[in-house]
Amino acid sequence: MSNTFLVAVDGSEGSVRAAEFATARALASKSKLVLAYVIEWSPYSFHTPDELAERHKRREEEIERAQSTVLEPVSKSVKDKGVDVEVVVKHGHPSETLVDLAKDRGATQIFIGRKGQSRVASLLFGSVAGSLVQTSPVPVTVVP
C-alpha cells in the first residue's frame, strides 16, 4: 500500500490548515504529501488559432503563478518539517482532477479545507470538498 496523501491547496486559510493537518499525519505515518493546485479550466471552448496560442500562454503563466505564490510557501513549510513533498498544478474541473491525481499518485487519502477561495461558485455549484466526499475512491478528510 502506498504511503501518499494528496492535499488540495488553493491559497485559502482552509487549505493551509488542511496542509498542516496532513503534514502532521504524514510525519506520524512516514507518508509522502502531494500538494495539488487545480486551476479551473474548461476544455469545451472553441477558439481561433490566435486565441488558442494566447490561451496556452495564459495557462503557462497561471501554472507558474500558482507554483510560486501558493505551492512554494506551503511546500517549504512541509519540507522544513521533514516530510517528502511533491507539488502539482493541473488545469481542469477541481474535484475530478483531484480524484484523477489521487489515482495516478496512488494516494491513500485526500485532505482538503472546508472552505476554499471561491465562495460564490460553491454556493451556485456546490463545493469541491462536497464533490470529493461523494466521488473519491479513497477517504477524504475535510479540515475546518
Tens digit of each residue's pLDDT (9 = 90 or more) over 29-70: 999 999 999 988 766 566 677 776 777 788 888 889 989 999
Q: Which domain holds residue 40?
A: 4-143
| Eight-state DSSP code of residue 35 | E
Could you tell me the three cell numbers for 108?
Answer: 491513500
CATH code, 104: 3.40.50.620
By CB atoms closer than 10 A (0-12, 13-18, 19+), residue 141 is middle
Q: Which residues contact 89 (CB under 8 A, 6 or more apart)?
A: 36, 37, 38, 39, 62, 63, 66, 67, 71
With bands split at pLDDT 50, 70 and 90, how would you rate the model's confidence at 114? confident
| Eight-state DSSP code of residue 91 | E
| Residue 74 pLDDT exceeds 60 | yes
Looking at the chain, the whole-number percentage of residues with pLDDT higher than 70 is 86
Confidence (pLDDT) at 130: 87
* SS percent in the chain: helix, strand, coil, step 5: 55, 20, 25
| Residue 91 pLDDT exceeds 60 | yes
Confidence (pLDDT) at 124: 40
Domain count, the chain: 1
